[in-house]
Amino acid sequence: MKKFYSFLIAAVALVGFAACESNEEATPEAETMTFVASFADETRTELEGMNVKWCAGDTIRVTDGQGNYETFTTAEGGATATFTGNKFGNGTEYYAIYGDNNATFDGTWTYTVAKEQAVKAGSFADGAAVSVATYADGVLSFTNECAVIKFQVESEATDVVFGDVVTVKGKLAASTNYYAVVAPGEYTFATIMTDGDVVLENKTLNCVANKIYNVGTLPVKPMIYLNAGGSDKWDQGGAWFIAHLWENSTGDFLDVKLEKVNGYYQAKSDKKYDKVIFIRMSSAAKDMTHMWDEVQGNNDGYWNKTDNLDIPAGKNCFTITGWSYGN
């Protein structure tokens, strides 16, 4: 009887444990749905070579036209991609937008094009070009809503600003195509700026969706730099520095005072020059009046100057290596 009693207790305990397990309720997973998305043929044709393919992580905003919205994401890239999100709507009527996840729909999309767009060599910023689609035949076929401004910069620059419409932000290299995305419309850019300088004024563009407008190469006011050689060379005694820049073929020249930034003396010129003389002014000199007069005693004037130096193409930084004339 003892053996039977022990087995009975064990059996009851096992049944009780199983009953506890069966009473737990699993949280149901949200239902999902997918859309296959591609870019319409005309979009690929007009923006050939541009970023008109999907990238992993891209998101689109989808509405059923009844005031309901969901965000869908793709884990793949390419001309066609599958986007996944929460199931909603009636399964047949959907409208989608790429590039503005806060856009609203009332028969047409109301959206905002980003006013600050990251530099991307050879293309426009990811997500900048707003595109829209209507669900049909099992596919969302997107067409570009925006126009694109194409440009290059004459030399290395930071930030290009098209009036108050859009800024392409970041470092730009010469001889490289860059693009800014704008909504369709007629624009008169009061100023176009590179490196904080106005380089074009009152430029008018009538921008149509899905078209590229080439404004050409934008001028950049060049920088000139001087490494004064440290405290055992030119950078001592309260000296300050002038760059005398000139163009050999025309005789045009510019005299600019150099300012110290991050260990280098620098200035911005109004255009490209092919020659420079660096002048080390005495601490007694208050301006450029006597920049060509050698100091006598403690008088106003210069202490040292370089030889006539060529400014090689693509280079703009000079280093003082000694005290001899021309070093």
pLDDT digits (tens, 9 = 90+) for 52-67: 788 899 999 999 999 9
Residue 242 structure tokens: 């002038």
Q: What is the pTM of this model?
A: 0.69
Categorize the per-residue pLDDT at 1 as very low, low, confident or very high, splitting at 50, 70 and 90.
very low
Please compute the mean of the pLDDT values over residues 221-228 and round it to a whole number: 90
Q: What is residue 65's predicted lDDT score, i.e. its pLDDT?
A: 95
- For residues 194 and 153, the answer to whether their CB atoms sit within 8 Å is yes
DSSP calls for 272-294: --SEEEEEEE-TT--SSTTTTSB
In eight-state DSSP terms, residue 28 is P
Residues 176-197 pLDDT 10s: 999 999 999 999 998 898 888 8
Torsional class of 144: left (φ above 0), alpha (ψ -120 to 50), beta (otherwise) = beta
> Which residues touch 39 (CB under 8 Å, ≥6 apart)?
52, 53, 79, 131, 141, 142, 143, 144
- Work out the angle at residue 109's Cα, subtended by the Cα atoms of residues 104 and 112, and round it to the nearest 5 degrees: 75
Q: Could you give the percent of the chain with pLDDT greater than 90?
A: 63
Q: How far is CA 264 from CA 63, 222, 227, 311, in A?
A: 56, 15, 5, 17
Asked whether residue 18 carries a pLDDT value surpassing 70, the answer given is no
Quickly count helices (H) and strands (E) in the chain.
2, 26
Helix (H) or strand (E) holding 104: strand 104-105
DSSP three-state, residue 225? strand
144/209 Cα distance (integer angstroms):
7
In this prediction, residues 16-24 reach a mean pLDDT of 43
Question: Which among 272, 274, 269 is positioned nearest to 257, based on CA atoms?
Answer: 269
